[in-house]
Amino acid sequence: MDLRQMEYLVTVADERHFTRAADLIGISQSGLSAAIRGLEEELGTSLFTRTTRRVEPTEAGFALLPYARAMLEQAAGARDAVVKASRAVSGSLRIGAEQCLGLVDIAALLDRFHRRHPQVEIEFTQCGSHDLLVMLRGGELDVAFVATDRHLGLLPRKEIGQEPLMVLTPPDHPLASRASVSWEALEGLDFVDFGTAWGARILNETAFAAHGVHRRLRCSVNDVHTLLDLVVRGLGIAVVPRHVAAKPQAERLRAMPLAGNGTPEWTVSVVSNTRDTSESPARHLLELVEESLV
């Protein structure tokens, strides 16, 4: 057993889905499945039960999980200890992120950064991607995690990942019985969406305009859980990134992919201020992001 196998095991167990896990790790689904099968052959037992819709750890899988998590935590801790001992960094780090980005765990990232560089004072701001870019350009932030590819200009950017958009409806909605939904089927329907500064709202406005589809925006919110609650209560449907549709609060809803070509993907990137130097705390945070992607 090695660390990479443990990472695969934990990601599949957390996502309960091979495709989503493969997207997060950055490998093909077939490659992930082969790696898990190899681990199962090495241990002589099945670690997951697989169906067409869901993956669940077996009793053996559940028994292995805490040890797998401990191995990953110890490896990360060892790397952090080496960095902390060899590269003393001080100063301040001003970081911003949109809520519920899905492809990066900001809290976990800041926790690792703090353990590596405890002398750095961290200031964290959470708001929409558009507002974050304004703050970054104005010198109010050093690093921002955003969900948009607009208004970036020449700002240094590293793409973290992509995932598709999904249509969320109550189970009794006329679209709920479909395997997928075309853009044309959304014409004239009532919607719930995020505020204008959010990456999902910007992505939706652009996509609806590109497809010539008009919608009625009934509710505009600034919280993911509020959006899901309003859809559950029938105030409108929503187009959201796949990780939002997979939240426990959305389990009573029907989630369907958008059909046809020309559907944009939710793209998460880390963007930095061009004035960062090689020894700045921001630069060390970006190195940690790069390390996590590898």
The CATH number of whichever domain residue 206 belongs to comes to 3.40.190.290
The residue from 28, 49, 84 where one domain ends is 84
Task: List b or e across 9-31, with b for residues whose CB sees 16 or more CB atoms inside 10 angstroms.
Answer: bbbbbebebbebbbbbbeeeeee
In this structure, are 101 and 149 located in the same domain?
yes
pLDDT digits over 56-75, tens only? 899 998 999 888 888 888 87
**Is 82 within 8 Å of 249 (Cβ atoms)?**
no
The CATH number of whichever domain residue 274 belongs to comes to 3.40.190.10
In this structure, are 116 and 198 located in the same domain?
no
Domain count within the chain: 3
Domain that holds residue 20: 3-84
Kindly tell me if the per-residue pLDDT of 80 is higher than 90: no
180-197: average pLDDT: 94
The residue from 52, 84, 116 where one domain ends is 84
Q: What local confidence, expressed as pLDDT, does residue 88 receive? A: 61
Q: What local confidence, expressed as pLDDT, does residue 216 receive? A: 95
168-186: average pLDDT: 94
The residue from 84, 113, 130 where one domain ends is 84
Please tell me the distance from the alpha carbon of residue 130 to that of residue 136, in angstroms, as a whole number.
10
Kindly tell me if the per-residue pLDDT of 52 is higher than 70: no
In this structure, are 56 and 102 located in the same domain?
no
pLDDT digits over 273-282, tens only? 755 555 688 8
